Structure 1
Amino acid sequence: MRPRAPRAALLALVLTAACTAGALTGCRTGRQPAAAAEAAGAHARPGHDPAFLARGECAGRAAGSFTEVSCRSAEAAARVLARYNGPRSGGPRCPAETDFVLHINALDQGTSEESSAPEGYACMRNLQPPHPGDPGMGGGPLTVTGDCLYAQRDGVVKETACDGSGPRAPEYRVTTEVGARRECPPSTDLYVQVGGGAPVGCARRLS
């Protein structure tokens, strides 16, 4: 239920870095992926709509922080593709075209439940290129079909640009996403846990 009156709450957000900053477990043993993240902050403007960064709304970057702005504003940099309550861990997977994720922790400064905003996360898409979340671009918070990977160390792979423009050359390419490893094609050389409804990425070695 939406609050009946505006509230001035401070919302601290953590920006999940592009996949180039995170590692994924790529192996044949089913170990869980590890991830690293950079941090950035954002504030809700005093008196702003308490439905902070709802689906379809936009955010602008300023001095390392994110603030909700009108999508018609020259400051608008990214649009919310999806917004979920609760922690991202165990929550719904962001859309495949997500460029980055904002984790939202509300620090309630109101006097009632109606002046609070729940913890959640927003799946963001840049309004202008580049789009690191697109297949093969070497970034974004998700690994999707068409992405390329390289082996960082034994059992751990990281995403890189398929066109070779990244710091590391691609060694594998995700050909499909399936619900279980047994559903991968016989030509699969690497299994990558990608989460969501089809949590396994089937990757082939590039010649």
Structure 2
Amino acid sequence: MANPYQVTPPPAPRRRSGGNVVTVVVLAVVIIGGYFLMQSLRKDDGKPTASPSASASPSTKPTAKDPGSPESSSDTSSSWKVGDCGGPDTSKAPDGYKRAGCSDSGATFKAIDIKEASILPNAVQCPPGTDLMIDVSISYGGKGSGIPTNTVCGRNLSGDHPGDAGAGGGQLVKGDCVTSQAKEVACGGSGAQKVLGLVKTKSECPSGTTDPIELTMAIGRPYDVICTDG
């Protein structure tokens, strides 16, 4: 016999399919709105988020503490290639440089090698004959020195080549000359000692070395001893 006090629960309400349609419409509106918002932000002033820039440092001569490196500057583009030419950038005077056609009147040097940049001083070693080194970096928002990307090893288009061995400039290389204080000078001058090798220890100096110059240790520099003929 059925329980007269038992109450039969009402049937569960049926889920209406219209709710799914509303959800899909809302999501579509959010996605489309987000897309147009991103497009608007990208068009802000027509400027890219990241822009290449450069920092410059004057050329230095070697000393027992710092062997030095060629003049350093930069360009407005990070896409340098071997064979590209460049010249002074008047908008970033006195240390700025920019790319230019090799036949342009403003071209003063040609890229003979492209190296990866380094935050360590003296860590980038360009090939012999490099007259200047151009540090290319990317800065965000167009401010600050930026993140180093490449180093352009440049050689002058003129007949003036301070980076040639013995000429007294550029990075120190075998065949250059230094004083007893490890300062680079042009060969042939008074007190000039010929560089026979650049090594880590005195025992690695080649035969003929009579006066090895031990340098203060520097992170990034590939040598600590200048082997000279005294």
1:161-207 Cα deviation digits (max 9, x unpaired)? 1133xxxx3331112344642122264212356954x76431012xx
List alignment gaps of at least 5 residues for structure 2. Answer: 1-46
1:1-207 map, 5 Å = 9-17=51-59, 21-25=60-64, 33-34=65-66, 42-44=74-76, 50-63=77-90, 64=94, 65-87=96-118, 89=120, 91-109=123-141, 119-140=149-170, 142-151=171-180, 156-164=181-189, 169-178=190-199, 180-184=201-205, 185=207, 187-191=209-213, 195-196=221-222, 200-205=225-230
Is 1:150–1:172's contact at 8 Å kept on the other side of the alignment? yes
Is 2:70–2:169's contact at 8 Å kept on the other side of the alignment? no
Percent identical: 25
Q: Which stretch has the larger CA shift, 54-63 or 69-78? A: 54-63
Paired residue type of 2:61: G
Task: Give me the whole-angstrom Cα distance separating, in 1, the residues matched to 2:225 and 2:127.
Answer: 16
Structure with the larger strand share: 1
CA, structure 1 residues 83+109, in 2 after alignment: closer, same or farther (shift >3 Å)? farther
Aligned-CA RMSD value: 3.4
Alignment partner of 2:108: what SS? strand
Is 1:81–1:124's contact at 8 Å kept on the other side of the alignment? yes
Using structure 1 for the length normalisation, give the TM-score. 0.66
CA, structure 1 residues 178+42, in 2 after alignment: closer, same or farther (shift >3 Å)? closer
List alignment gaps of at least 5 residues for structure 1. Answer: 1-5, 26-32, 45-49, 111-115
Paired residue type of 2:184: E
Task: Give me the whole-angstrom Cα distance separating, in 2, the residues matched to 1:101 and 1:126.
Answer: 11
Task: Give me the whole-angstrom Cα distance separating, in 1, the residues matched to 2:102 and 2:79.
Answer: 14
Q: Which has the higher contact order (CA 8 A, sep 6+)?
A: 1
Using structure 2 for the length normalisation, give the TM-score. 0.60
Please identify the structure whose Cα radius of gyration is greater.
2
